[in-house]
Amino acid sequence: MKWNKKHIILAIILPIQMLLMKLVAKNPEFIEHYYSNGIYPTISSFFRIILGWIPFSIGDLLLGFGLFVFIRFIYRLIKNRFRNLIPKLIHLVAVFSVIYFCFYLFWGLNYYREPLAKNLHYQQQKYTTEQLQKVTKHIILKLNDYQLKITNNDTLKVENPYSQKEMYEMAIAGYENLSNDFPQLKYNHKSVKSSLMSLFQSYNGTSGYLNPLTGEAQVNNRVPKTSYPTTTCHEMAHQIGFAAENEANFVGFLAANYNDDIYFKYASYRMAYGYCISELRKRDKELTKELWKTVNKGVVKDYNASFKHWQQFKNPFEPLMKKGYNAYLKANKQDKGVQSYNYVVDLFISYFESSTPS
Protein backbone atom coordinates (compact mmCIF):
# COMPACT_ATOMS: atom_id res chain seq x y z
CA MET A 1 0.00 0.00 0.00
CA LYS A 2 1.44 3.39 -1.02
CA TRP A 3 1.81 6.28 1.37
CA ASN A 4 -0.98 8.79 0.87
CA LYS A 5 -0.01 12.41 1.56
CA LYS A 6 -3.61 13.48 2.19
CA HIS A 7 -4.02 10.76 4.80
CA ILE A 8 -0.78 11.81 6.51
CA ILE A 9 -1.84 15.47 6.60
CA LEU A 10 -5.28 14.64 7.98
CA ALA A 11 -3.73 12.34 10.60
CA ILE A 12 -1.37 15.11 11.72
CA ILE A 13 -4.27 17.55 11.94
CA LEU A 14 -6.12 15.36 14.49
CA PRO A 15 -3.85 16.11 17.50
CA ILE A 16 -3.77 19.77 16.42
CA GLN A 17 -7.57 19.82 16.54
CA MET A 18 -7.50 18.29 20.00
CA LEU A 19 -5.13 20.98 21.25
CA LEU A 20 -7.33 23.68 19.76
CA MET A 21 -10.34 22.21 21.56
CA LYS A 22 -8.46 22.58 24.85
CA LEU A 23 -8.11 26.30 24.12
CA VAL A 24 -11.72 26.64 22.95
CA ALA A 25 -12.98 25.08 26.19
CA LYS A 26 -11.51 28.02 28.08
CA ASN A 27 -13.52 30.59 26.09
CA PRO A 28 -17.23 29.88 26.63
CA GLU A 29 -18.19 33.50 25.88
CA PHE A 30 -16.65 33.21 22.42
CA ILE A 31 -18.44 29.91 21.74
CA GLU A 32 -21.75 31.28 23.03
CA HIS A 33 -21.64 34.37 20.84
CA TYR A 34 -20.01 33.18 17.63
CA TYR A 35 -21.00 29.51 17.52
CA SER A 36 -24.07 28.62 19.65
CA ASN A 37 -25.82 31.88 18.77
CA GLY A 38 -23.86 32.46 15.58
CA ILE A 39 -23.26 29.80 12.95
CA TYR A 40 -24.75 26.78 14.76
CA PRO A 41 -28.44 27.72 14.27
CA THR A 42 -27.82 27.93 10.51
CA ILE A 43 -25.93 24.63 10.42
CA SER A 44 -28.56 22.79 12.47
CA SER A 45 -31.46 24.25 10.51
CA PHE A 46 -29.83 23.18 7.26
CA PHE A 47 -29.55 19.55 8.34
CA ARG A 48 -33.04 19.44 9.83
CA ILE A 49 -34.57 20.93 6.68
CA ILE A 50 -32.88 18.54 4.25
CA LEU A 51 -33.27 15.39 6.42
CA GLY A 52 -36.30 16.08 8.61
CA TRP A 53 -38.84 15.06 5.97
CA ILE A 54 -37.29 11.60 5.52
CA PRO A 55 -39.38 9.15 7.62
CA PHE A 56 -36.45 6.99 8.76
CA SER A 57 -33.14 7.78 10.44
CA ILE A 58 -30.29 8.61 8.07
CA GLY A 59 -28.02 8.95 11.09
CA ASP A 60 -28.67 5.37 12.18
CA LEU A 61 -27.86 4.15 8.68
CA LEU A 62 -24.58 6.11 8.73
CA LEU A 63 -23.67 4.62 12.09
CA GLY A 64 -24.46 1.13 10.87
CA PHE A 65 -22.41 1.66 7.72
CA GLY A 66 -19.51 3.09 9.73
CA LEU A 67 -19.54 0.10 12.07
CA PHE A 68 -19.56 -2.28 9.09
CA VAL A 69 -16.59 -0.50 7.48
CA PHE A 70 -14.63 -0.55 10.75
CA ILE A 71 -15.25 -4.28 11.30
CA ARG A 72 -14.28 -4.98 7.69
CA PHE A 73 -11.09 -2.94 8.20
CA ILE A 74 -10.12 -5.01 11.26
CA TYR A 75 -11.02 -8.27 9.49
CA ARG A 76 -8.87 -7.45 6.45
CA LEU A 77 -6.01 -6.30 8.66
CA ILE A 78 -5.98 -9.66 10.43
CA LYS A 79 -6.57 -11.64 7.22
CA ASN A 80 -3.59 -9.96 5.53
CA ARG A 81 -1.44 -10.59 8.62
CA PHE A 82 -1.02 -6.87 9.31
CA ARG A 83 0.77 -6.11 6.05
CA ASN A 84 1.17 -2.36 5.41
CA LEU A 85 0.02 -1.78 8.98
CA ILE A 86 1.36 1.78 9.38
CA PRO A 87 -0.22 3.24 6.19
CA LYS A 88 -3.52 1.60 7.05
CA LEU A 89 -3.47 2.96 10.59
CA ILE A 90 -2.68 6.42 9.22
CA HIS A 91 -5.67 6.06 6.91
CA LEU A 92 -7.86 5.14 9.89
CA VAL A 93 -6.60 8.11 11.92
CA ALA A 94 -7.27 10.36 8.91
CA VAL A 95 -10.89 9.20 8.85
CA PHE A 96 -11.23 9.85 12.58
CA SER A 97 -9.74 13.31 12.02
CA VAL A 98 -12.48 14.19 9.54
CA ILE A 99 -15.20 12.80 11.83
CA TYR A 100 -13.74 14.72 14.79
CA PHE A 101 -13.82 17.96 12.81
CA CYS A 102 -17.40 17.41 11.63
CA PHE A 103 -18.59 16.42 15.10
CA TYR A 104 -17.48 19.67 16.70
CA LEU A 105 -18.36 21.91 13.77
CA PHE A 106 -21.86 20.48 13.29
CA TRP A 107 -22.81 20.32 16.99
CA GLY A 108 -20.14 19.38 19.53
CA LEU A 109 -18.87 22.90 20.24
CA ASN A 110 -22.11 23.45 22.18
CA TYR A 111 -20.51 21.47 25.01
CA TYR A 112 -18.28 24.49 25.63
CA ARG A 113 -20.88 27.26 25.59
CA GLU A 114 -21.88 29.30 28.63
CA PRO A 115 -24.08 27.56 31.25
CA LEU A 116 -27.83 27.64 30.65
CA ALA A 117 -28.30 29.04 34.18
CA LYS A 118 -26.40 32.16 33.13
CA ASN A 119 -28.47 32.38 29.95
CA LEU A 120 -31.68 32.28 32.03
CA HIS A 121 -30.29 34.69 34.64
CA TYR A 122 -30.53 32.17 37.47
CA GLN A 123 -28.41 32.96 40.52
CA GLN A 124 -27.34 29.42 41.32
CA GLN A 125 -25.76 28.42 44.60
CA LYS A 126 -25.42 25.21 46.55
CA TYR A 127 -28.97 24.28 47.54
CA THR A 128 -29.99 23.01 50.98
CA THR A 129 -31.89 19.85 51.84
CA GLU A 130 -34.78 22.08 52.92
CA GLN A 131 -34.92 23.70 49.48
CA LEU A 132 -34.83 20.32 47.79
CA GLN A 133 -37.57 19.01 50.07
CA LYS A 134 -39.79 22.02 49.36
CA VAL A 135 -39.40 21.70 45.59
CA THR A 136 -39.96 17.94 45.71
CA LYS A 137 -43.19 18.41 47.67
CA HIS A 138 -44.42 20.91 45.09
CA ILE A 139 -43.58 18.51 42.26
CA ILE A 140 -45.45 15.68 44.03
CA LEU A 141 -48.56 17.86 44.32
CA LYS A 142 -48.49 18.65 40.61
CA LEU A 143 -47.71 15.04 39.65
CA ASN A 144 -50.57 13.70 41.75
CA ASP A 145 -52.90 16.34 40.36
CA TYR A 146 -52.22 15.46 36.73
CA GLN A 147 -52.40 11.72 37.41
CA LEU A 148 -55.81 12.18 39.04
CA LYS A 149 -57.09 14.42 36.25
CA ILE A 150 -56.12 11.79 33.66
CA THR A 151 -57.43 8.68 35.44
CA ASN A 152 -60.09 10.04 37.85
CA ASN A 153 -58.74 7.48 40.31
CA ASP A 154 -55.54 7.91 42.33
CA THR A 155 -54.81 4.17 42.20
CA LEU A 156 -54.83 3.77 38.41
CA LYS A 157 -51.68 3.89 36.31
CA VAL A 158 -51.59 6.51 33.55
CA GLU A 159 -51.79 5.02 30.05
CA ASN A 160 -50.52 7.36 27.33
CA PRO A 161 -52.90 7.00 24.32
CA TYR A 162 -50.68 8.57 21.65
CA SER A 163 -48.45 6.94 19.07
CA GLN A 164 -44.78 7.88 18.90
CA LYS A 165 -45.30 9.85 15.67
CA GLU A 166 -48.16 11.78 17.23
CA MET A 167 -45.97 12.77 20.14
CA TYR A 168 -43.21 13.98 17.80
CA GLU A 169 -45.72 16.38 16.26
CA MET A 170 -47.23 17.38 19.59
CA ALA A 171 -43.84 18.19 21.11
CA ILE A 172 -43.45 21.13 18.73
CA ALA A 173 -46.44 22.89 20.29
CA GLY A 174 -44.75 22.83 23.70
CA TYR A 175 -41.65 24.50 22.27
CA GLU A 176 -43.82 27.11 20.56
CA ASN A 177 -45.48 27.98 23.87
CA LEU A 178 -42.12 27.92 25.62
CA SER A 179 -40.55 30.38 23.19
CA ASN A 180 -43.07 33.03 24.24
CA ASP A 181 -41.43 33.18 27.68
CA PHE A 182 -37.98 31.96 26.66
CA PRO A 183 -37.17 33.17 23.09
CA GLN A 184 -33.72 31.58 23.31
CA LEU A 185 -35.39 28.13 23.45
CA LYS A 186 -37.25 28.46 20.16
CA TYR A 187 -37.37 25.30 18.02
CA ASN A 188 -37.69 25.30 14.23
CA HIS A 189 -37.65 22.62 11.51
CA LYS A 190 -38.61 19.30 13.14
CA SER A 191 -36.34 16.33 12.61
CA VAL A 192 -37.35 13.81 15.29
CA LYS A 193 -37.46 10.12 14.47
CA SER A 194 -37.71 6.70 16.07
CA SER A 195 -34.30 5.09 16.12
CA LEU A 196 -33.72 2.09 13.87
CA MET A 197 -31.52 0.81 16.71
CA SER A 198 -34.14 1.07 19.46
CA LEU A 199 -33.62 -2.53 20.60
CA PHE A 200 -29.87 -1.96 20.86
CA GLN A 201 -30.48 1.27 22.76
CA SER A 202 -32.71 -0.59 25.20
CA TYR A 203 -29.95 -3.08 25.91
CA ASN A 204 -27.40 -0.32 26.50
CA GLY A 205 -29.87 1.54 28.73
CA THR A 206 -30.41 4.68 26.63
CA SER A 207 -33.67 6.42 25.73
CA GLY A 208 -32.43 8.37 22.74
CA TYR A 209 -29.58 10.34 21.26
CA LEU A 210 -28.81 13.18 18.90
CA ASN A 211 -26.81 12.27 15.82
CA PRO A 212 -24.39 15.21 15.57
CA LEU A 213 -23.52 14.48 11.93
CA THR A 214 -27.11 14.63 10.66
CA GLY A 215 -28.86 16.76 13.29
CA GLU A 216 -31.58 14.13 13.75
CA ALA A 217 -33.08 13.50 17.18
CA GLN A 218 -33.31 9.74 17.60
CA VAL A 219 -35.78 8.39 20.17
CA ASN A 220 -35.84 4.81 21.42
CA ASN A 221 -39.39 3.78 20.49
CA ARG A 222 -39.38 1.07 23.17
CA VAL A 223 -39.25 3.62 25.99
CA PRO A 224 -42.35 3.48 28.28
CA LYS A 225 -44.88 5.87 26.78
CA THR A 226 -45.51 7.83 29.97
CA SER A 227 -41.93 9.11 29.75
CA TYR A 228 -41.91 9.46 25.97
CA PRO A 229 -42.87 13.17 25.87
CA THR A 230 -39.92 14.27 28.01
CA THR A 231 -37.52 11.93 26.20
CA THR A 232 -38.58 13.48 22.89
CA CYS A 233 -38.33 17.03 24.22
CA HIS A 234 -34.90 16.22 25.71
CA GLU A 235 -33.50 15.18 22.34
CA MET A 236 -35.05 18.26 20.71
CA ALA A 237 -33.26 20.38 23.31
CA HIS A 238 -29.98 18.90 22.09
CA GLN A 239 -30.95 19.95 18.58
CA ILE A 240 -31.30 23.61 19.51
CA GLY A 241 -27.82 23.62 20.98
CA PHE A 242 -27.96 22.45 24.59
CA ALA A 243 -25.40 19.68 24.66
CA ALA A 244 -24.99 19.25 28.43
CA GLU A 245 -27.32 16.50 29.66
CA ASN A 246 -28.60 18.35 32.71
CA GLU A 247 -29.48 21.36 30.52
CA ALA A 248 -31.21 19.20 27.91
CA ASN A 249 -33.17 17.58 30.76
CA PHE A 250 -34.28 20.98 32.02
CA VAL A 251 -35.25 22.34 28.59
CA GLY A 252 -37.06 19.06 27.92
CA PHE A 253 -38.96 19.46 31.18
CA LEU A 254 -39.95 23.03 30.29
CA ALA A 255 -41.07 22.12 26.76
CA ALA A 256 -43.21 19.24 28.05
CA ASN A 257 -44.63 21.33 30.90
CA TYR A 258 -45.50 24.23 28.59
CA ASN A 259 -47.38 21.84 26.32
CA ASP A 260 -51.17 22.18 26.51
CA ASP A 261 -51.57 18.40 26.52
CA ILE A 262 -52.05 16.89 29.99
CA TYR A 263 -50.00 13.76 29.19
CA PHE A 264 -47.01 15.96 28.40
CA LYS A 265 -47.50 17.89 31.63
CA TYR A 266 -47.73 14.64 33.59
CA ALA A 267 -44.52 13.42 31.94
CA SER A 268 -42.71 16.65 32.84
CA TYR A 269 -43.42 16.31 36.56
CA ARG A 270 -42.85 12.57 36.41
CA MET A 271 -39.33 13.23 35.17
CA ALA A 272 -38.69 16.08 37.62
CA TYR A 273 -39.83 13.96 40.56
CA GLY A 274 -37.53 11.11 39.56
CA TYR A 275 -34.43 13.31 39.65
CA CYS A 276 -35.39 15.24 42.79
CA ILE A 277 -36.31 12.21 44.89
CA SER A 278 -33.09 10.51 43.76
CA GLU A 279 -31.02 13.44 45.03
CA LEU A 280 -33.02 13.66 48.25
CA ARG A 281 -32.40 9.95 48.90
CA LYS A 282 -28.67 10.66 48.97
CA ARG A 283 -29.20 13.19 51.76
CA ASP A 284 -32.05 11.82 53.86
CA LYS A 285 -33.40 8.32 53.30
CA GLU A 286 -36.09 8.57 55.99
CA LEU A 287 -37.45 11.80 54.56
CA THR A 288 -37.46 10.19 51.13
CA LYS A 289 -39.59 7.31 52.43
CA GLU A 290 -42.05 9.76 53.95
CA LEU A 291 -42.41 11.70 50.71
CA TRP A 292 -42.92 8.50 48.71
CA LYS A 293 -45.96 7.78 50.91
CA THR A 294 -47.59 11.01 49.63
CA VAL A 295 -47.34 9.95 45.96
CA ASN A 296 -50.55 8.58 44.43
CA LYS A 297 -50.58 4.80 44.08
CA GLY A 298 -51.24 5.18 40.37
CA VAL A 299 -47.98 7.11 39.98
CA VAL A 300 -46.09 4.49 41.99
CA LYS A 301 -47.48 1.80 39.69
CA ASP A 302 -46.20 3.80 36.71
CA TYR A 303 -42.67 3.96 38.17
CA ASN A 304 -42.75 0.26 39.01
CA ALA A 305 -43.84 -0.61 35.47
CA SER A 306 -41.02 1.49 34.08
CA PHE A 307 -38.51 -0.23 36.39
CA LYS A 308 -39.70 -3.67 35.25
CA HIS A 309 -39.47 -2.57 31.61
CA TRP A 310 -35.81 -1.65 31.90
CA GLN A 311 -34.95 -4.69 34.00
CA GLN A 312 -35.78 -7.01 31.10
CA PHE A 313 -32.91 -5.47 29.10
CA LYS A 314 -30.25 -5.84 31.78
CA ASN A 315 -27.15 -7.57 30.45
CA PRO A 316 -23.45 -7.93 31.36
CA PHE A 317 -22.33 -5.57 28.57
CA GLU A 318 -24.42 -2.58 29.69
CA PRO A 319 -21.96 -1.44 32.42
CA LEU A 320 -19.14 -1.48 29.86
CA MET A 321 -21.13 0.64 27.42
CA LYS A 322 -22.01 3.06 30.21
CA LYS A 323 -18.35 3.37 31.11
CA GLY A 324 -17.61 4.31 27.51
CA TYR A 325 -20.39 6.91 27.52
CA ASN A 326 -19.19 8.14 30.90
CA ALA A 327 -15.71 8.72 29.44
CA TYR A 328 -17.23 10.52 26.44
CA LEU A 329 -19.16 12.94 28.67
CA LYS A 330 -16.11 13.64 30.83
CA ALA A 331 -14.09 14.40 27.71
CA ASN A 332 -16.69 17.02 26.78
CA LYS A 333 -16.70 19.22 29.88
CA GLN A 334 -19.16 17.12 31.92
CA ASP A 335 -16.86 16.21 34.78
CA LYS A 336 -19.39 13.96 36.54
CA GLY A 337 -19.98 11.81 33.48
CA VAL A 338 -23.38 10.09 33.47
CA GLN A 339 -24.11 11.73 36.84
CA SER A 340 -24.34 15.01 34.89
CA TYR A 341 -27.99 14.17 34.18
CA ASN A 342 -28.73 14.60 37.91
CA TYR A 343 -27.39 18.15 37.94
CA VAL A 344 -30.75 19.18 36.50
CA VAL A 345 -31.96 19.42 40.11
CA ASP A 346 -30.01 22.69 40.50
CA LEU A 347 -31.98 24.12 37.60
CA PHE A 348 -35.30 22.81 38.94
CA ILE A 349 -34.73 24.56 42.25
CA SER A 350 -33.73 27.83 40.56
CA TYR A 351 -36.80 27.62 38.31
CA PHE A 352 -39.39 26.77 40.97
CA GLU A 353 -38.03 29.36 43.37
CA SER A 354 -38.02 32.13 40.77
CA SER A 355 -41.29 31.52 38.94
CA THR A 356 -44.82 30.27 39.26
CA PRO A 357 -44.99 27.08 37.16
CA SER A 358 -48.09 26.07 35.25
Render each residue's pLDDT in the chain as its tens digit; 358 residues.
567 889 999 999 999 999 999 998 899 999 999 999 999 999 999 999 999 999 999 999 999 999 999 999 899 888 888 888 898 899 999 999 999 999 999 999 999 999 999 989 887 778 899 999 999 999 999 999 999 999 999 999 999 999 999 999 999 999 999 999 999 999 999 999 999 999 999 998 899 999 999 999 999 999 999 999 999 999 999 999 999 999 999 999 999 999 999 999 999 999 999 999 999 999 999 999 999 999 999 999 999 999 999 999 988 877 777 777 677 767 776 666 545 456 899 999 999 988 754 4
Q: Is residue 118 part of a domain?
A: no
- Work out how many domains the chain is built from and give that number: 2
Amino acid at position 98, single letter: V
Half-sphere exposure of 105 (CA within 13 A, CB side): 9
User: Which pLDDT does position 324 carry in this prediction?
Assistant: 75
Residue 357: the pLDDT is 47
Domain boundary among 112, 135, 158: 112
Centre a 10 Å sphere on the Cβ of residue 203 and count the other Cβ atoms it contains. Answer: 17
The verdict on 275 and 324 lying in the same domain is: yes
Q: Tell which phi-psi region holds residue 205, choosing left (phi > 0), alpha (psi between -120 and 50) or beta.
A: left
DSSP state of 6: H
> In terms of domains, do 310 and 234 share one?
yes
Q: Is the same domain home to 144 and 208?
A: yes
DSSP class of residue 37? I
Strand-pairing partners, residue 209, are 218
Q: What is the spatial distance between Cα 195 and Cα 208, in angstroms, rounded to a whole number?
A: 8
Measured in degrees and rounded to the nearest 5, phi and psi for residue 30 equal -65, -45
What does the alpha-carbon distance between residue 133 and residue 142 come to, in Å, rounded to a whole number?
14
- Asked, for residue 121, whether it belongs to a domain, the answer is no
Using the 3D structure, point to which of 52, 85, 112 is the last residue of a domain: 112
**Do 107 and 199 fall within a single domain?**
no
Residue 246 in any domain: the answer is yes
The pLDDT score that the predictor gives to residue 334 is 64
pLDDT recorded at residue 335: 66
Q: What is the dihedral of CA 86, 92, 96, 102, to 10 degrees?
A: 130
The length of the chain, given as a count of residues: 358
pLDDT of residue 152: 97
219's CB contacts (< 8 A; 6+ apart) are 164, 168, 192, 193, 194, 195, 207, 208, 228, 231, 232, 235
Same domain, 83 and 158: no
pLDDT in the model for residue 318: 74
Q: How far apart are the first and last CA of the chain?
A: 65
pLDDT of residue 342: 62
Same structural domain for residues 280 and 184? Answer: yes
Residue 142's pLDDT is: 97
Question: Do 73 and 166 lie in a common domain?
Answer: no
pLDDT for position 316: 84
Tell whether the torsion through CA atoms of 26, 32, 36 and 42 is positive or negative. Answer: negative
Judge if 216 and 247 occupy the same domain: yes
Position 285 in a domain: yes
How far apart, in whole angstroms, are the C-alpha atoms of residue 273 and residue 295?
10
Residue 56 lies in a domain: yes
Backbone phi, psi, residue 306, to 5°:
-65, -40
Residue 43, domain member (yes or no) = yes
Looking at the domain assignment, is residue 54 inside a domain?
Answer: yes
Collapsing DSSP to helix, strand or coil, 184 comes out as: helix
| Residue at 37 is within a domain | yes
Please indicate, yes or no, whether residues 202 and 290 belong to a single structural domain of this protein.
Answer: yes
Residue 217 domain boundaries: 127-354
**Nearest partner of 104 among 168, 166, 176, 25, judged by Cα:** 25
Tell me the pairing of strands 192-194 and 216-219: parallel
* Helix and strand numbers, DSSP H then E, in the chain: 16, 3
E strands present in the chain: 192-194, 208-211, 216-219
**Residue ending a domain, choose from 112, 140, 170:** 112
User: Is the same domain home to 172 and 51?
Assistant: no
Whether 343 and 299 map to the same domain: the answer is yes
Same domain, 163 and 33: no
